[in-house]
Amino acid sequence: MTLAVRVPEELSARVPVEQRGPGLDRDAVRLLVSRGAEVAHHTFAELPRLLRAGDLLVVNTSATLAAAVDGRSGHARVVVHFSTRGDDGRWAVELREPDGRGTTRVRAGGPAGTEVRLPGGTGLVLEEPLSGRGDRLWWARVSGPGVPGLLREHGRPIRYAYTERDQPLSVHQTVFALPSADGTGSAEMPSAARPFTARLVAELVSRGVQFAPVTLHTGVASTEAHEPPYPERFAVPEASARLIDAARAGGGRVVAVGTTAVRAVESAVGSDGAVRARAGWTDLVVTPERGVRVVDGLLTGLHEPEASHLLMLEAVAGRTALERGYEAALQGRYLWHEFGDLHLVLP
């Protein structure tokens, strides 16, 4: 689906909320709350009062990588966005062009055999497109030192043109982020969890709200083409599966923090409706036709009208609620993108 709305450029969040004024913390963003067609306006710091004892928040623990690295292909300067590591050791990458303003613009993909020189003696060769849907992302063979070390030493967080400046990697980590043993993580921040602070988490726990950690390593988003999501690596631990099933059995609401958490937990539900521990790759695309089997609510950012994520939102909230919520967000001048305001959809 697409929404018949236009998001003005000035509604892009250009810097994190804590950099917009003295004394602000991450939870100072605004929170739009949708219950059916009813809409209410809050701040994110009010979240503990909007949930109730027995509710369960499913959170993504994937850490954000410094996934953008400068390189050269022939005489041309390029920026490599490292997206996803494959089981065979190759990486899915997107090559982009510097735009002269500190960000990048889209670049024609390929061809196979394209070589890129990267810092520290690392080389990269494009081998084949990631899928038949297009040639934006390619599987690439990387030679020299390992990619995790390359990103730590020479990488920076992926940044798009609507933001004002580069930010330290710490700005792109959520309070739930845990580094993985193999150095993999998310190419872009699981941003719905960004407004949580340690204080807010403690308050939620004290009110009887539980947390179920899952992991889904997000790949590079398609900001220009709005393609459906590619397969991503995920894990739902046994303890979290039990927490989710127990919350549902006890009448609590399962609220996913971000579309990544929805994709992970909905990939771990069996035909009997129970959630079980599962890990691997998921190619699940949640649509209104498929629906959701586990998730009752969703906490998410505001997405572009053409974004594929809106299919998932419609599956959770319904078309009417989604349209009403986005209309209210535009009228209320809410801010979009990863440093922007949040939308809580409740049953």
Tokens of 199: 């204080």
Beta strand residue intervals within 237-273, DSSP E: 254-257
Tokens 């219950």 correspond to 35
pLDDT of res. 311: 82
CA distance 14 to 21: 13
Amino acid identity of residue 67, one-letter, is A
Local confidence band at 26 (pLDDT 50, 70, 90 cut-offs) = very high
Q: How confident is the model at residue 306 (pLDDT cuts 50, 70, 90)?
A: low
Q: What is the pTM of this model?
A: 0.94
Give the mean pLDDT of the chain. Answer: 92
* Mean pLDDT of all residues in 77-90: 95
Beta bridge partners of 298: 256, 345
Question: Is the model's pLDDT at 132 over the cut of 80?
Answer: no
pLDDT at residue 312 in the model:
85
Secondary structure E strands in 86-195: 91-98, 104-106, 115-118, 122-131, 134-143
Of 220, 285, 299, which is closest to residue 254 (Cα–Cα)?
Answer: 299
Residue 224 has pLDDT above 60, yes or no: no
The strands making up 342-346's β-sheet, listed across from edge to edge, are: 38-43, 30-35, 342-346, 297-301, 254-257, 56-60, 210-216, 232-236, 278-282
Separation between Cα atoms, residue 38 and residue 193, nearest integer Å: 24
Which pLDDT belongs to residue 89? 92
CA 290-294-299 angle, 5° bins: 95
pLDDT at 265 over 60: yes
137-184 pLDDT, tens digit per residue, is: 999 999 988 899 999 999 999 998 889 999 999 999 999 999 998 889
Q: How much is the pLDDT for 7?
A: 82
Beta bridge partners of 232: 282
23's CB contacts (< 8 A; 6+ apart) are none
The β-bridge partners of 126 are 140
Check: CB of residue 157 under 8 Å from CB of residue 169.
yes
More confidently predicted of 50 and 182: 50
At a CB cut-off of 8 Å and minimum separation 6, what does 203 contact? 48
Residue 101's alpha-carbon distances to 69, 108, 160, 319, in angstroms, are 16, 20, 10, 38
In the predicted structure, residue 278 carries a pLDDT above the cut 90: yes
Q: Find the length of the chain.
A: 347
Query: From CA 217, how far away is CA 302, in angstroms rounded?
Result: 20
The Cα 310–Cα 1 span in angstroms is 7
CA dihedral 283, 286, 289, 291 (to 10 degrees): 120
Instruction: Write out pLDDT tens, residues 200-212.
Output: 999 999 999 999 9
Q: Are strands 56-60 and 254-257 parallel, antiparallel or unpaired?
A: parallel
Residue 321's pLDDT is 87
Q: To which residue do tokens 């949708």 refer?
A: 34
User: How many Cα atoms occupy the beta-carbon half-sphere of 187 within 13 Å?
Assistant: 23
pLDDT at 281 over 90: yes
Please tell me what DSSP assigns to residue 313: H
Rounded mean pLDDT, 112-125: 95
Tell whether the model's pLDDT for residue 37 goes beyond 80: yes
